[in-house]
Amino acid sequence: MDLIKLDLQNDIMIKALLPLYQTYEAEISEEELLELFPPDTPLNDMLAEMHGYFEGKPVYICVVDGAYKGFVSYHMDTKDTPGFADGYEGWGHLSDIFIDKDSRKQGMGKMLVEKAEEGLGKLGIKGIYLTDIVGNDKFWVSLGYVDTGKIEPDEGGRIYEKI
């Protein structure tokens, strides 16, 4: 199991990440997946969409035997780069994390979160927050995150924080 940083200039990496990214979006919302990638969307358009989405965010990919099995992306919330919830300027935001269903419960999620926390820690953040849309509360609590009881207004996920 290795972690590699996504190079947005490397089309081979982006193409390899695309199926995993689409599975991630479909798990959150089939409607959102169809909005992002309508049927018959040309490959170049899909890659451009993904490139734009990850632009400015470090993305780490978990690789097992040459196959992409999961990823995490993060950034620091600023006025210019806000996250999905209000009131978190100066906080680190775990904006995306996904592990392929067949690869879960093998430590990949923890490894990806720790990598993101390490990167965010270097930015002088106040704390880290995330929005859990799919109900992974036990996972987040096991990593020291606290359920704030707040619901993110756009996607309806629970907000977790870690100081």
Contacts of 33 (CB under 8 A, 6+ apart): 22, 25, 26
| pTM (predicted TM-score) | 0.88
Of 100, 77, 99, 97, the C-alpha closest to 89 is 77
Span 151-162, pLDDT tens digits: 887 777 899 999
Cα first-last separation, the chain: 28
For 41-82, how does the pLDDT look when each residue is reduced to its tens digit (9 = 90+)? Answer: 888 888 888 888 888 889 999 999 999 999 999 999 888 877
**Residue-wise pLDDT tens digits, 15-29:** 899 888 888 877 766
